[in-house]
Amino acid sequence: MRKAYFIRGNYNIIIVDYGSAVTEPCLSQIEWAPRFGSLCVSQLVKYIAHHPRGVPPDNLHLIGYSVGAHIAGLVANYLTPDEGKLGRITGLDPTIFFYAGTNNSRDLDSSDAHFVDIIHTGAGILGQWSASGHADFYVNGGTSQPGCASSTIFQTLACDHTKVTPYFIESINSEKGFWAGPCTTLVSYLLGWCEPKDSEYVLMGEHVSQRARGVYYVTTNAKPPYARGFPGKNRRTAKNSEYSGVRRK
């Protein structure tokens, strides 16, 4: 992902590695590791904001995969209104194991940033099913991904869950783009009842419009390049679309 951003231009990228704190098979660590990780990230966010050449939280874009998606959301809990609000959070198939708790304040949702976009690829299995962002994208139905069939069920489910990362990475520099259409339910999508107008399609991934609201569905190829391009009548590319990496004033 870092290399993909640098191909596009100059970025300041900070990578948070909490892998040593969440080692398999001890899922009970999910209870405390995200709290510790999010506290550390929030301290860094505040330090960056107060630095003489700093950047306010409103101009930051946090990207989190699985448990990391909820960690990004938890960072918001440590920021006061005077300190600002995160500009954007992208949740890459947020894990269902962390989401299953009763304390909703710890789950990634639309209140955690000016714009929250969530991409679902293993929904209902390893990833959460419900829509909780400003814009939620369900890829290939949101649960099963093409090219993920394996000899064991665990490998297949793990592939569905992790496939979200290469989708997002490709979206950073894709000329075709992952164009998604709005649809209220999975059943309506599968039955073909949703026929979006060309103007209703939005890009999924890095270049999503921050005006996007609701639930969207998108299909991909089984092998890279995964993006299929614009499915509507009039040809559009990712290059001539609106770009909203972070909140713009």
- For position 249, what pLDDT does the model report? 38
- For position 100, what pLDDT does the model report? 43
The highest-level CATH class for domain 2-218 is alpha beta
Helix ranges (H only) for the chain are 2-8, 33-50, 67-75, 96-99, 153-162, 164-173, 186-190
- For position 99, what pLDDT does the model report? 46
Buried b (16+ CB within 10 A) or exposed e, 24-52: eeeeeebeebbeebbeebbeebbebbeee
In DSSP terms, which residues pair with 94 in a beta bridge? Answer: none
pTM flag (> 0.95): no
CA distance 64 to 178: 19
- For position 8, what pLDDT does the model report? 95
Asked if 123 and 138 touch (Cβ cutoff 8 Å), the reply is yes
Domain regions of the chain by residue span:
2-218
Across the beta sheet with 214-218, the strand order is: 61-65, 88-92, 115-120, 135-139, 214-218, 178-182, 202-204
List the pLDDT tens digit at each of the 249 positions of the chain.
999 999 999 999 999 987 776 666 555 666 677 888 899 999 999 999 999 988 999 999 999 999 899 999 999 999 999 999 999 999 999 998 754 444 456 689 999 999 999 999 999 989 999 999 999 999 999 999 999 988 788 899 999 999 999 999 999 999 999 999 999 988 898 888 999 999 999 999 999 999 999 999 999 999 999 999 998 766 666 765 655 555 433
Task: Report residue 5: phi and psi, to 5°.
Answer: -65, -40
Q: Is 5 helix (H, G, I), strand (E, B) or coil?
A: helix
Catalytic sites, residue numbers: 66, 93, 161
- For position 41, what pLDDT does the model report? 94
Sort strands 202-204 and 135-139 into parallel, antiparallel or unpaired: unpaired
- For position 74, what pLDDT does the model report? 93
Residue 97, CA distances (Å) to 14, 70, 100, 163, 232 in order = 26, 11, 6, 18, 37
- For position 22, what pLDDT does the model report? 61
- For position 84, what pLDDT does the model report? 94
